[in-house]
Copies of this chain bind each other. A is one copy, B any other.
Amino acid sequence: MTVNERIAMLRQYMAEKNIDVYVISSADFHQSEYVGAYFRARAYMTGFNGSAGTAVITKDAAGLWTDGRYFIQAEKELSGSEVKLFKMEQPGVPTVEEYLDSVLPKNGTLGFDGRSISVQQGNNYAKLFAYKNVKIAYEYDLVDLVWTDRPALSEHPVFFLEEKYTGESTSSKLSRVREIMKQVGATAHVLITLDDIAWMLNIRGRDVRFTPVVLSYAIVMMNCVHLFINEKKLSDEIKSILAKDNVILHPYNDIYDFVKQFDSNEVVLYDPARLNYALCSNIPTNVKVVENQNPCILMKAIKNDVEIANIKNAHIKDGVAHSKFLYWLKNTVDKEVITEIDASDKLEELRAEQEGFLWPSFGSISAAGPHAAMPHYGATPESNSVIEPGNFYLSDTGGNYWEGSTDITRTYAVGEVSDELKRDYTLVLKGNLALSASRFLYGCTGQNLDVLARQFLWQEGKDYNHGTGHGVGYLLSIHENAARFNWKKLEESMRPLEAGMVISNEPGLYIEDSHGIRIENEVLVCKGEKTNFGQFMYLEPITYAPIDLDAIDPTLLRDDEKLLLNEYHQKVYDLVSPHLTEEEKIFLQKYTRAI
């Protein structure tokens, strides 16, 4: 079927249900950052494959809204179909809401699959068009009727994470969640976010590419947990483990009917930013609700001692892979042709050799020369470049280990690079060192500290257009945003940094068509001394991989900065060298030498 044929069929179903306008989002039912193949309904209906976009289908028009990252791709992929591209935030281009307002008739009906729309978004639609008495039909997944060869929902088996990895039993986590439920007067807590459910129940899966989560919904009651999941995914062993904590199993989609049956005595806690519109709408109006952030978000962000020890081990493994990689790169690049994909394959291979490695924690960014100026570049067979001397090679990769998820970026000088490139590299490095070395009063946020990482670039009128850091999950989401380093006002950048949080420290610099730099270490937030002036906190870098000394201009580093770099490199050598060959050790010694 062509896209136009799909749309024509969708319009028939819209007519059957008396729906005037139908919206198709890019989301799954769980507000996930990455979604499985089953959930790519918007891509199926429009032909546009980018990760972000919203489609609107009316009786006689079809539109696709996406942002600047995707204009070129969308134009290409939409050509030949009736779908019109709406370039978001361009002058004169209406927003989705403005467009809906212009096409929705009085007393009309707006339809969407309410499972793929957030509560805020759904409420916003309902409120915006109330003035012309527009009805909301959120119950129909019309794309499902058109998409006859839709991929099945993932049935990947669930595995259990033992206490030697998690440091805390499911029952302990549940009792902490229930403690908070009591504090806010709730008797039931509805959870749809996959990483929160996985963390709380100490289960993992592979239903989403990279992120080891399990497609499921959960409702925590005071004496049991209702888990909505395809039972095929659960071995008898897992079932018996879950049963110990009184986890009651239900079919995946049954939660929508289940919440309709809530007794009017229940008080339901949910996070309005992390619930879908259908689920929220199905809770009977006579049931009292408490809207609050999911208690699991802060709990899972604060790693316990067992997790911290494990995470450090995972980072040593990452450091070993990176040291071997650097050895290979520096010794091979002038002898053989190495492409971006060759290099990321090599690094993945070296990581895969590490004990306890499962799979990558996100899609590798492997970018040579000017490609590195695109912060989110992903090499494809078409774009795949050779790593050439005289520029940088940027590698942003991560691993999922039993002992946690990692995220590390290194930028390497290939051959000799110019003084200008070294200067840029050193400015980025100075920011990374300054943030890592910061000490601060308890209560400080990522918004307070971000300037430390940017100050040297800002002095020269330069900047990087992304946050300085994001939280990292434990064998979970690589972007676990309970806290961030970002000077802008965001919920997460305004949260006090708590001991046990693991956050990335990744300043960069991107010069279009020329070069790109990013240096990323993860840092652990630690409790420092308590003085007369208050409780002090500090950051400990827990990524252990050499920062390429060939790329640095040492004359731009102050003595205290050299000391920080040298201390860091000494630690890298001490932790990593025992796992290397003699030859690699000598190499690493050189690349972690004091400067």
User: Which residues of A are at the interface with B, using a C-beta cutoff of 8 A?
Assistant: 438-441, 443-444, 447-452, 454-455, 458-459, 461-463, 465, 487-489, 494, 512, 528-529, 531-534, 536, 558
Contacts and interface: CB of A to CB of B under 8 A. Distances in A.
A512 B451 CA distance: 31
A533 B451 contact: no
Given A439-B458, A458-B439, A459-B439, A444 B533 contact: no
Given A438-B455, A443-B488, A488-B443, A463 B534 contact: yes
Nearest to A457: B533
A451 B445 CA distance: 11
A529 B462 CA distance: 11
A238 B129 CA distance: 54
A459 B434 CA distance: 11
How many copies are assembled? 2
State the 9 A-B residue pairs at the shortest beta-carbon distance, nearest first.
Answer: A463-B533, A461-B531, A448-B487, A439-B458, A439-B459, A448-B451, A461-B536, A440-B458, A462-B533
A497 to B, nearest CB: 12
Nearest to A437: B459
A443 B459 CA distance: 16
Contacts of A440: 451, 454, 458
A458 B487 contact: no
A448 B440 CA distance: 14
A529 B452 contact: no
Nearest to A535: B461
Given A440-B458, A451-B452, 20 more contacts: A438-B455, A438-B458, A439-B458, A440-B454, A441-B458, A441-B487, A443-B488, A444-B451, A447-B448, A448-B450, A448-B451, A448-B487, A449-B451, A452-B455, A461-B528, A461-B529, A461-B536, A462-B531, A465-B533, A558-B558
B458 A536 contact: yes
29 contacts: A438-B451, A438-B455, A438-B458, A439-B458, A439-B459, A440-B451, A440-B454, A441-B463, A441-B487, A443-B488, A444-B487, A447-B447, A447-B448, A448-B448, A448-B450, A448-B487, A449-B451, A452-B455, A458-B536, A461-B528, A461-B529, A461-B536, A462-B531, A462-B533, A463-B533, A465-B533, A489-B494, A512-B532, A558-B558
Contacts of A463: 441, 533-534
Contacts of A459: 439
A82 B10 CA distance: 80
A452 B487 CA distance: 13
A533 B489 CA distance: 19
A194 B451 CA distance: 36
Contacts of A441: 458, 463, 487
A528 B534 CA distance: 37
Contacts of A533: 461-463, 465
A225 to B, nearest CB: 36
A360 to B, nearest CB: 31
A464 to B, nearest CB: 8
A501 to B, nearest CB: 18
A267 to B, nearest CB: 21
Contacts of A461: 439, 528-529, 531, 533, 536
